[in-house]
Amino acid sequence: MTSYIVRRLLAVFPVVFLVVTLAFFVFQLIPGDPARMYAGEEATQQQVERIREKLGLNRPILVRYITYWKGLVHGDLGTSIYFHTSITDLIGRRFLNTLQLALIAIIAATVFGLIIGTVAAVHRGSIWDYSANLIALLGISIPVFWLGLLLMLFFSLYIGILPTAGNATWKHYLMPSFTLSTFSMAFITRMTRSSMLETLGEDYVNTARAKGLTERRVIIFHALRNALLPILTVVGLRFGYMLGGAVITESVFAWPGMGRLFVTAVNQRDIPLVQGELLIFALAFVLVNVVVDIAYSFIDPRIRH
């Protein structure tokens, strides 16, 4: 088991190297002068040249690449052009907010998706099955921004029981986490139903029933456990997307997270900040996939070999 975990962790390094390299060189091709954007339109050419020297933009690209790697090793992602502060500090404050929102959303999506999908599979062709398919269809079809605005209109303006923006109290988490979890819950529901239908027809499930085990034990410990691998894959992918793709949800609810910061960076053409955020998104996605791979080995020990 230990050797398997070590192998999976070692496989992260080539991916990280490739992500950092692509993130650096792709943004060198974007038109525009970061020094001019940093200094402002009214700055003189002499001031722009001083800033270019300060940021190291007058050095050869290979030297800047090596310097960028040295900064990454020490946890330095550079300086934001728009905010005039450390990108590491900016992302550090915002990433925790996004992580909290994504964790609540993925836990809710997984729990309800497993329950609804399992009930639909066990009661195939019944009203429960049709209701689960309808819920999944609505969750996949409803646009995130429209759902968020609808929730704000009903719970904040009409009823007045939930705040519209921010993250000061636990009430601020309810609408954003529900909005963010809707699509993932629908996706997990459909995957759970499909995987459970396939597993319920296997011989070992019929054997477990023939042994006299209760239906609940057969479903949970025999059918559901063997159906978890594809479901776990979906959960990991959706969690990775939440960490890097909560842009719309955070913008609608003015959530002080990575997604909203990314929108600001793009609008202000803050290339170093965009580059740093994309790097963090990619690293988070890679680490989530590693955790999912390790979780595979606990569900199915054959994967370790």
Listed by start position, the domains of the chain span 94-304
Backbone angles phi, psi at 123, to 5 degrees: -105, 50
Half-sphere exposure of 217 (CA within 13 A, CB side): 8
What integer pLDDT is reported at residue 177 of this predicted model?
A: 92
Measured CA angle at 50 (ends 48, 56), to 5 deg: 100
What integer pLDDT is reported at residue 164 of this predicted model?
A: 83
Helix (H) or strand (E) holding 16: helix 12-28
- 3-class SS of residue 249: helix
Fold (CATH) for 94-304:
MetI-like fold (1.10.3720)
Backbone angles phi, psi at 109, to 5 degrees: -65, -40
Taking only the tens of pLDDT, the chain with its 305 residues reads 677 677 777 777 888 888 888 878 877 776 666 676 666 666 677 777 777 777 677 777 788 888 888 888 888 888 887 787 888 888 888 888 888 999 999 999 999 999 999 999 988 888 998 999 999 999 889 888 899 999 999 998 888 888 888 787 888 889 999 999 999 999 999 999 998 888 887 888 888 888 888 878 888 877 888 888 888 888 888 888 888 667 888 888 888 888 888 888 888 777 788 888 888 888 888 888 888 878 777 776 666 55
Find how far residue 131's CA is from the centre of its chain.
28
Please give the structure tokens belonging to residue 244. Answer: 């890097």
Is residue 238 within 8 A of residue 292, CB to CB? The reply is: no
Place of tokens 């009661």: 123
What integer pLDDT is reported at residue 182 of this predicted model?
A: 92
**Beta bridge partners of residue 86, listed in sequence order:** 79
Secondary-structure percent of the chain, ordered helix, strand, coil, rounded to 5 = 80, 0, 20
What integer pLDDT is reported at residue 103 of this predicted model?
A: 92
Please give the structure tokens belonging to residue 128. Answer: 């429960």
